[in-house]
Amino acid sequence: MPLTFDDLLQRARALPRGGRRAILGIAGSPGAGKSTLAEHLVRELNGNGEPWVAHVPMDGFHLADAELERLGRRDRKGAPDTFDAAGYADLLRRLREETDDDTVYAPGFERVLEQPIAGMIPIPPTARLIVTEGNYLLLDTGAWARVLPRLDEVWFCELPEPERIQRLVARHEQFGKSHEEAVAWVRRSDERNAELVATTRARADLVVPQSALPRVEA
Ligand SMILES: Nc1ncnc2c1ncn2[C@@H]1O[C@H](COP(=O)(O)OP(=O)(O)O)[C@@H](O)[C@H]1O
Ligand SMILES: [Mg+2]
């Protein structure tokens, strides 16, 4: 039997053991469906009750455009060195250690502005499962190497090439790029990053099959 979305729900639900908080990572190439999968998992697991699952996107750790400009990396936005990897790894450490006291805040990412926003995502002490997702969770270079040891389990999300690229272009268009700009950006930037992400696939605990991805209306 191929794995289903319900199987993923079961597997995620079982991660926090003995009342301890667990962190589930979802890695994968740009456009593979990581954020969508995370959103669906979190929504289904929380249901209508008291929320116990939180969604923390790696995208909140994008460096601001002003800083990318200063570093001369604005045209490579989305590459591994255009994120605050150390900040992300440290947030994961805090989410593991600071489970009793105050709300921990994670930054979010605003897709129209394409800028990170601090203090956007509250993680209350009652959160028992954190679903964190992004391109570079399985990278073993620089500060990225501190991410994997702080995750209880990592799933790898993938989608056949033509469809992934099509969705990526459509998403760029949806957030304000012209078709030409979107295609150029995907070719020049996203695809280089996708190749790097693909090399990290073997470090995942589970490769999510197509059969288990949530059904989303086009
Ligand atoms: N299971 C799915 N079925 C149909 N469309 C999807 C599905 N998952 C994602 N998409 C669409 O594909 C695009 C990329 O998905 P997203 O979750 O943003 O990818 P990622 O976070 O990996 O970059 C989005 O526009 C999203 O709506
Ligand atoms: Mg995403």
pLDDT tens sequence for the chain (218 residues): 899 999 999 999 999 998 899 999 999 999 999 999 999 999 999 999 899 999 999 999 999 999 999 999 999 999 999 999 999 999 999 999 988 878 999 999 998 888 999 999 999 999 999 999 999 999 999 999 999 999 999 999 999 999 999 999 999 999 899 999 999 999 988 999 999 999 999 999 999 999 999 988 76
Contacts 24+ apart (CB under 8 A), 62-66: 62/109, 62/114, 62/115, 62/116, 63/116, 64/115, 64/116, 65/114, 65/115
For residue 152, the cross-strand partners are: none
Q: What is the Cα–Cα distance from 25 to 23, expressed in whole angstroms?
A: 6
Contact 22, 155 (CB under 8 A): no
Instruction: For ligand 1, say whether the CB of 111 is within 6 Å of any of its atoms.
Output: no
Residue 121, SS3 per DSSP: strand
**Which residue of 8, 34, 36 sits with most ligand 1 atoms within 8 Å of its CB, as the best mutation to test the pocket?**
36
Is residue 33 in contact with ligand 1, taking CB distance under 6 Å? yes
The residue whose CA has the least distance to atom 13 of ligand 1 is 167
Whether residue 154 contacts residue 140, with contact meaning beta carbons closer than 8 Å, is answered with: no
